Structure 1
């Protein structure tokens, strides 16, 4: 009897195992388990602005050859061209990551009217300049928390691409207002002057608006790092923050510290979050051909990468994508004065390791005291250079305000056998790095728009459905028979005015509100005015409110 029961038990177990195998084979064939296992709650996109392979190589040598935190994640290359140019600027590059669409240089998350690059489809004329819903906006509308962590001023091109829409990336005040009304949950970086009532041309009190909507708003890192709520804007400089190596004594936090705090706050949301972290000033150092700034901020960015990776690896619901938006400067380790046999590692690193400030930091120290002797003294102390020529001294003395790094950077580069081809962006591919808890990452050479597609896929967000009926234009409303005009009487507060059934409706630019008499309605999307085209785009549910 015991043997029979043992046989029966064994048979049942065997049948169950066979059944499980059949079921698992069926599920694998349908792809359902794989598809679900690829979904994550949280996505951290990290953008080292302007970073090239030469940047990372130099940063590795600077820290003794030790690998960077991002090295283990390298998995492919990203093509960076914009809709109208082989060399992108940060606005369309950020737009591609934010929306999955290419646009033209200077534009932020709107459709282009010029699509001249191979493989970029032409947009219908009626959709020229139309705002494109970003992955940050879609994530927020899906119940997730959202964050932007940068070292530049927050309405600068890359962060702006995720939370605003404009045909002019330099229109900081209007961009800032859109970003505020988009109510991004966590914003850390610079740019206090763009939300302060007294420093804005339109005198909008964006600080009060944020506070009235439950945000902590501060310019103090001490306040921010001790905040344990869920919504905060911490802007730690009036404009942009310092390079990392210049930050001691300023009270400004590091990119890693801001990233750590943002993750602490955003991870409270059970629905998950989307966070974009930018190493903003890698790009600026490259524009200036300043290798000290490059090393400073590549390593600062990499420390933030480690924070993000440690967070992601401590759980199973978070993906990290690291992708520069473009290359910059044409930096090379080796120039026309270098040969493979004559230049040793110390020749590259000697002066960069001696430097304790970037050119921008030295400019602050020099101030207006640009005598020959003081220039020699300061450059010797902070750069270890004791052999300045008179021509170099004169160049330092005559450097325009805010441009001394464009003088000192090349001096360091020349002494370090580092070559540069440009003070601007270049058009090569960039390295893609990615971490997914199940190893589901892109490989090969992909387009920058595919980075957004990948993020949307793993978060389970259908960006197409968000864009399908998000915006209508003033022309659309006119075609439907509404009496519409754009009121430009106050250039700092342009409004769309709609007359319908004896009532007047007003929609101010950059806000997500519709006003009718004493009534105010909150709209799904911020309103966008494109001055050059005289186009005003509003959230599509406006039409329902007019009926």
Structure 2
């Protein structure tokens, strides 16, 4: 038999063998590729501050490379949304009312895209420079009728089972904590109180298997795949411009984003990460252009971290957007009316570049006797003041907020900037996206979670996730149980369900119930709105 015949026979035999055995016997089935989503929200950012930040930096932004469209921001009740309704729209795919967190307009809890991703087997995380209990991160991780319920929000977050939580808000994890109220421009003012339910959530975080880190060094050094909770400030993390000098123990948004991606990317299936640059909005409420630029550029650096990972990974969708405008900042004001066509870029950015601190950072350094007022003003870039200007600053310095107001007005005047409001604005905003399945064009903010959930392989608008939460009393009474709520007006209410010898106890904000004294884990937290207990029932 010659060589050619042998080769023919061998080929035939191999072909027969290939058909005789399942393909898995010959070739290992490839694992499906990871699917990851990094959803990045730059709170309270209008288009002009993005333009101004680009001029200030002197180069294109990371965001510029992935501009794909625009987003409509209105809420269910107003042309101008608040962060709670906007965050909830982008988390649930449903427009809702002001102050509602993870609730539909009727006040019922709605599953969020983060919760859906977790239930579908993805690792999940949030990053923010605000307290993590603040409106936007809360909208992805909790369900309350009032965004100011930081205690309930924080407790739900602890029991949600996320893999990574990084940001501020340590105060609301402790029995001795801080409550907060809003001043006239929407900013937080705090007072120390005991946590009303008396719980130490820091201990629960440890019991739930998290690495708890409190400082920047701990975040940068800590590696691994275990769950991670970083609480780097009692309230909010400092503005990036101030952080470098005044709060070096706090991490930057880019560092937190990188650390979160490092942990979450070790998932075999993939991950969903929400990142918020929270404080463009806070600076905009103050009409502080320096603070706004600080936080836009901080956010842009975080976008750079996300894009670096996505370009290497090739299975990651990155979406970046703002939830709404704020302040009505304009390049140009009444002072440029007569000569707007002769305003070089330097006239806008050079006054801003003289600042070494934001207005909040600068004023925080004012001594009690005000002996360093000139230094404080200089740190904000306000040198060479006229006698009239300095006297106005001296008069205002009796109260920090009044001094801040005078300083930002003078900075805006010197930089030829205009502001129309200390509140939110209702314009469409830029949409940025990169990677497979990304949204494009002019879309509703509610379209974003639908696009994300479709890419990750589940739906928020059909199937079991639509009616995930049920009215607990209604559900169990229909099945012959007696239902009552113990401690209805207390800080630790419990829904008690009883039929014969069977007794179930559902504590508010936790992901379990007690069945005849034995603890049973749930896939979601129990939600109580003061009237109704909402629970998820398996099967």
Cα 1:491–1:47, aligned 2, differ >3 Å: closer, same or farther?
Answer: same
| SS across alignment from 2:89 | helix
Please give the alpha-carbon distance, in whole angstroms, between the structure 1 residues aligned to 2:235 and 2:53: 27
Provide the residue aligned with 1:104 in structure 2.
Answer: 97
Contact 1:513 1:521 in 2 (8 A): yes
Cα 1:155–1:291, aligned 2, differ >3 Å: closer, same or farther?
Answer: same
TM superposition shift of 1:384: 3.4
Provide the residue aligned with 2:228 in structure 1.
Answer: 232
Cα 1:323–1:460, aligned 2, differ >3 Å: closer, same or farther?
Answer: same
Provide the residue aligned with 1:89 in structure 2.
Answer: 82
Provide the residue aligned with 2:361 in structure 1.
Answer: 361
TM superposition shift of 1:428: 0.4
Structure 1 segments unaligned to the other structure (5+ residues): 1-37, 113-127
Which string of whole-angstrom CA distances, capped at 9 and with x for unpartnered residues, describes residues 308-347 of structure 1?
0011001211110001111111110001111313533222
Contact 2:290 2:352 in 1 (8 A): yes
- What's the TM-score once normalised by structure 1's chain length? 0.84
TM superposition shift of 1:480: 4.4
Please give the alpha-carbon distance, in whole angstroms, between the structure 1 residues aligned to 2:327 and 2:34: 36
Please give the alpha-carbon distance, in whole angstroms, between the structure 2 residues aligned to 1:276 and 1:466: 23
Is 2:113 aligned against 1:135? Answer: yes
Contact 1:59 1:295 in 2 (8 A): yes
Provide the residue aligned with 2:490 in structure 1.
Answer: 491
Contact 1:176 1:195 in 2 (8 A): yes
Which of the residues 203, 211, 214 maps onto 1:216? Answer: 211
Q: How does 1:443-522 map to 2 (within 5 A)?
A: 443-463=440-460, 464-477=462-475, 478-488=477-487, 491-522=490-521
TM superposition shift of 1:169: 0.4
Which of the residues 280, 289, 292 maps onto 1:291? Answer: 289
Please give the alpha-carbon distance, in whole angstroms, between the structure 1 residues aligned to 2:274 and 2:150: 19
- What's the TM-score once normalised by structure 2's chain length? 0.86
Which of the residues 41, 52, 56 maps onto 2:50? Answer: 56
Provide the residue aligned with 1:191 in structure 2.
Answer: 169
Cα 1:445–1:332, aligned 2, differ >3 Å: closer, same or farther?
Answer: same
Which string of whole-angstrom CA distances, capped at 9 and with x for unpartnered residues, describes residues 79-115 of structure 1?
0011111111111111111111111110011111xxx
Cα 1:525–1:406, aligned 2, differ >3 Å: closer, same or farther?
Answer: farther
Q: How does 1:10-409 map to 2 (within 5 A)?
A: 41-64=35-58, 66-112=59-105, 128-199=106-177, 200-229=195-224, 230-248=226-244, 249-250=246-247, 251-338=249-336, 339-370=339-370, 373-387=371-385, 388-400=389-401, 405-409=404-408
TM superposition shift of 1:386: 2.7
TM superposition shift of 1:540: 2.2
Please give the alpha-carbon distance, in whole angstroms, between the structure 1 residues aligned to 2:196 and 2:372: 39
Contact 2:392 2:406 in 1 (8 A): no
TM superposition shift of 1:489: 5.6
Contact 1:133 1:467 in 2 (8 A): yes
Cα 1:189–1:470, aligned 2, differ >3 Å: closer, same or farther?
Answer: same
Please give the alpha-carbon distance, in whole angstroms, between the structure 2 residues aligned to 1:429 and 1:482: 50
Please give the alpha-carbon distance, in whole angstroms, between the structure 2 residues aligned to 1:489 and 1:141: 30
| SS across alignment from 2:484 | strand
| SS across alignment from 2:40 | strand
TM superposition shift of 1:490: 6.1
TM superposition shift of 1:415: 1.7
Tell me the matched-pair count: 481
| SS across alignment from 2:37 | strand
Please give the alpha-carbon distance, in whole angstroms, between the structure 1 residues aligned to 2:464 and 2:281: 32
Please give the alpha-carbon distance, in whole angstroms, between the structure 1 residues aligned to 2:359 and 2:213: 29
TM superposition shift of 1:207: 1.6
TM superposition shift of 1:268: 0.3
TM superposition shift of 1:40: 6.2
| SS across alignment from 2:363 | helix
TM superposition shift of 1:46: 0.6
Contact 1:399 1:407 in 2 (8 A): no
TM superposition shift of 1:385: 2.5
| SS across alignment from 1:246 | helix
Contact 1:138 1:466 in 2 (8 A): no
Provide the residue aligned with 1:14 in structure 2.
Answer: none
| SS across alignment from 2:365 | helix
Contact 2:357 2:379 in 1 (8 A): no
Please give the alpha-carbon distance, in whole angstroms, between the structure 1 residues aligned to 2:488 and 2:72: 43
TM superposition shift of 1:389: 3.7
Please give the alpha-carbon distance, in whole angstroms, between the structure 2 residues aligned to 1:443 and 1:136: 21
| SS across alignment from 2:372 | helix
Please give the alpha-carbon distance, in whole angstroms, between the structure 2 residues aligned to 1:521 and 1:422: 51
Contact 1:256 1:304 in 2 (8 A): yes
Cα 1:468–1:441, aligned 2, differ >3 Å: closer, same or farther?
Answer: closer
Please give the alpha-carbon distance, in whole angstroms, between the structure 2 residues aligned to 1:289 and 1:536: 41
Please give the alpha-carbon distance, in whole angstroms, between the structure 2 residues aligned to 1:382 and 1:169: 33
Please give the alpha-carbon distance, in whole angstroms, between the structure 2 residues aligned to 1:365 and 1:185: 37
